[in-house]
């Protein structure tokens, strides 16, 4: 059983919880290894369609690297899949929701930015404070933030390391919804359930095409690009089931295959 995180499945949804609340859910090498294994299982399991990631306790989502572990001589290395096993998992086509319950600093914010949606508690705080201690946000934050909120707004955070509230995150555009703390996980689950109402292969094709299309030199090349998840969607029984269910005025029975 994992020691530094939890993984709980409920139907099609897997909830992953960083479980080091006394350390503000800061992560170290053993935690990264556990999380990498959990993400591998999520990615491979055809019965799981959506993941929610959150932090234990009410103070922090994740405060980034466990610097005390480093100071004691511990390694801060992470797996090839990146910080928390997700920031470099570029080919993950299943949707992931961050339920940010408190502090999301440094690597913690980078985890949230690597997710597809961010649902934030009113108490959430976001920052990439690495320049304040002579470092840089090297787990993708430097590049994901400008892509998600635009260059000037991103530079305002990257060059100062300042803290941003949940409400400001909503205004800037990297937060999807802000809710009271007690409503955070129910809100994240509501989003997950709405995703699960859609055809899973359609969801994965949409995610893959949207993200890969950002790297295309032009809109035309993005639109005309070849995406393996789109090909899988077109060959799936769900491609027939959706229109049939609509015509018959019933809920579709998605197979995800």
Helix (H, G, I), strand (E, B) or coil at 135: coil
**Beta strand pairing status for 125-127 and 164-165?**
antiparallel
Selecting among 110, 183, 197, 241, the annotated active-site residue is 110
Distance from C-alpha of 70 to C-alpha of 40, rounded to nearest angstrom: 26
Report the b/e string of 149-158 with b at 16+ CB within 10 A.
Answer: beeebbeebb
Helix (H, G, I), strand (E, B) or coil at 97: strand
HSE-CB for 198 with a 13 A CA cutoff: 17
Question: Whats the size of the chain, residue-wise?
Answer: 257
Distance from C-alpha of 232 to C-alpha of 115, rounded to nearest angstrom: 23
Distance from C-alpha of 35 to C-alpha of 125, rounded to nearest angstrom: 23
Selecting among 43, 130, 183, 197, the annotated active-site residue is 130
**110 carries an active-site annotation:** yes
HSE-CB for 64 with a 13 A CA cutoff: 22
**43 carries an active-site annotation:** no
Contact 172/163 with Cβ under 8 angstroms?
Answer: no
Residues 6 or more apart in contact with residue 21 via CB below 8 angstroms: 55, 56, 57, 59, 60
Residues taking part in catalysis: 110, 130
């Amino acid at each position: 059983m994992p020691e530094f995180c939890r993984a709980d499945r409920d139907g099609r949804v897997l909830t992953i919880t960083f479980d080091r609340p006394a350390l503000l859910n800061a992560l170290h090498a053993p935690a990264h290894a556990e999380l990498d294994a959990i993400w591998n299982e999520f990615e491979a399991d055809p019965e799981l369609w959506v993941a929610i990631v959150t932090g234990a306790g009410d103070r922090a989502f994740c405060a980034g690297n466990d610097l005390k572990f480093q100071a004691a001589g511990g390694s801060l290395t992470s797996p090839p899949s990146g910080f928390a096993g997700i920031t470099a998992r570029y080919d993950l086509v299943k949707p992931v929701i961050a339920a940010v319950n408190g502090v999301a600093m440094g690597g913690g914010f980078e985890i949230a930015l690597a997710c597809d949606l961010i649902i934030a508690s009113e108490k959430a705080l976001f920052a990439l404070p690495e320049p304040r201690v002579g470092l840089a946000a090297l787990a993708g934050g430097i590049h994901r933030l400008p892509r998600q909120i635009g260059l000037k707004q991103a530079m305002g955070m990257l060059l100062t390391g300042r803290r941003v509230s949940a409400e400001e995150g909503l205004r800037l555009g990297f937060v999807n919804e802000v809710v009271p703390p007690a409503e955070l996980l129910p809100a994240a689950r509501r989003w997950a359930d709405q995703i699960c109402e859609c055809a899973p292969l359609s969801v994965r094709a949409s995610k893959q095409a949207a993200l890969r299309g950002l790297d295309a030199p032009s809109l035309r090349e993005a639109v005309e690009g070849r995406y393996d998840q789109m090909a899988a969607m077109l060959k799936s029984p769900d491609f027939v089931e959706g229109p049939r269910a609509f015509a018959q005025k019933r809920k579709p029975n998605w197979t995800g295959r």
